[in-house]
Amino acid sequence: MVLVRPGAADPSISEALIRIRGELVADGFDVELLDAQSASAPRPTMDDAGQQAGSAALIGLFLAPDGQAAELWVVDPRTNETLVRQIDTRGEAREHIVEVLAVRAVELLRASLLELLMSSRRSAAPAAAPPPSEVSRQVPRRAERSLDPPRRSMWGVELGGGLLASPGGIGPALLLIARLRVAPPGPIEGRLSLAGLGTAPRVAGPQGSATVQQRFGLVELAALPWPELRLRPRFSVGLGALHVAVDGEASWPYRGVHSAQWAFAADAGAGVEFGIVRRLDVVVEAHALVAHPYPVVRFVETEAARGARPALLGSLSLVGWL
């Protein structure tokens, strides 16, 4: 694949082309930057570039004189089929124009490559199907891969930590979080979440004190309205169980006891997920968890603290896609 850089190109064009090249190389393309001799008109520039390079695709980016708009040209040298897309950056802050130009150009480029691919298949439909090797020479498979979502598997493993607290009740506890994800095609995911093995906050009362251990497990459904974005918002709901264990220490004549309780738990959460590299995401989430019956810490008949009415959880984790 060749990216055409018009002669005496504006610095914004050069910087945008470098960013676009980086995105395409990350998607698996072999990309070459080619300097064209003419910048007076896109068509002569693309024709000159086509004569200099034998490539599966020619891509040119031409900035308007005012620097606020651009044209993206995608040419198939074998068929001379040409797609032209307009990019308008008017209204963007000047310091962000290069970044916006590069992002929109890459998005339009991927869509244009898919359009050329579909057009090539439609034109070849009446004739006998070529052998697979010929198809792979006509349209690089890398172009198809670059249009896939970042994930390469429907299974993922998530590990991280969270801070669980019940406002006005049981104090904050740091918990380890492990999750198993299943993400079929589409904007809906399933998730099995386990949290525990963390710190034990202390509750003080008039007759003594107690440490509280908390752990829970949830089965969740999550919605990702825009799964194709690198920074993806996510919303989830879940059902499961909360386990609370209390170890009491009391002053004489009272006696500290150990008790534990299981409770039904319901959860709702929201957060964002960011793709770091192709198989690794980072996730930041906030959750509200309620339990029934909710746990209560008492000293004799005095209630000292209660939890999960609701409990708030903030978490940070990494997802590895298998």
The one-letter code for the residue type at 189 is E
* Distance separating the N- and C-terminal Cα atoms of the chain: 30
Q: In what order do the strands lie in the sheet with 32-35?
A: 32-35, 2-5, 58-63, 69-76, 81-88
How many Å is the Cα radius of gyration of the chain?
A: 29
Got the DSSP string for 254-310?
S---EEEEEEEEEEEEEEEEEEEETTEEEEEEEEEEEEESPPEEEETTEEEEE--SS
CB 245, CB 259: distance < 8 Å: yes
- CB atoms under 10 Å from CB of 80, counted, come to 10
The torsion angles phi and psi of 207, rounded to 5 degrees, stand at -110, 5
Burial code of 292-301, b = ≥16 C-beta within 10 A, e = fewer? Answer: eebbbbbbee
Most confidently predicted of 89-98, 109-118, 217-226: 217-226
At residue 132, the pLDDT reads: 52
Distance CA 191, CA 155 (A): 10
58-76 pLDDT, tens digit per residue, is 777 776 666 667 777 777 7
DSSP state of 125: S
CB 218, CB 193: distance < 8 Å: yes
Above 60 in pLDDT, residue 133?
no
Look-up of token digits 């992002």: 103
Residue 43, beta-bridge partner list: none
Mean pLDDT of 73-95: 75
The one-letter code for the residue type at 244 is V
Give the pair of three-digit tokens for residue 49.
């570039």
Above 80 in pLDDT, residue 274?
yes
Give the pair of three-digit tokens for residue 250.
């009391």
Pairwise pLDDT comparison (51 vs 138), residue with the higher score: 51
Mean pLDDT of 235-242: 96
Mean pLDDT of 24-31: 72
3-state secondary structure of 11: helix
Lowest mean pLDDT among 40-44, 95-99, 105-109, 114-118: 40-44
Above 60 in pLDDT, residue 138?
no
Q: How confident is the model at residue 249 (pLDDT cuts 50, 70, 90)?
A: confident
| Share of residues in the chain with pLDDT > 70 (%) | 75
At residue 233, the pLDDT reads: 93
Q: How confident is the model at residue 189 (pLDDT cuts 50, 70, 90)?
A: very high
Look-up of token digits 């996730």: 283
Lowest mean pLDDT among 53-67, 110-124, 136-150: 136-150
At residue 137, the pLDDT reads: 46
Give the pair of three-digit tokens for residue 301.
């008949």
Distance CA 73, CA 55 (A): 15
Across the chain, mean pLDDT equals: 78
Q: Which helix (H) or strand (E) holds 185?
A: none
Distance CA 120, CA 122 (A): 6
| Share of residues in the chain with pLDDT > 90 (%) | 30
CB 214, CB 196: distance < 8 Å: yes
At residue 141, the pLDDT reads: 44
Above 80 in pLDDT, residue 117?
no
At residue 152, the pLDDT reads: 53
The one-letter code for the residue type at 299 is F
Distance CA 115, CA 123 (A): 12
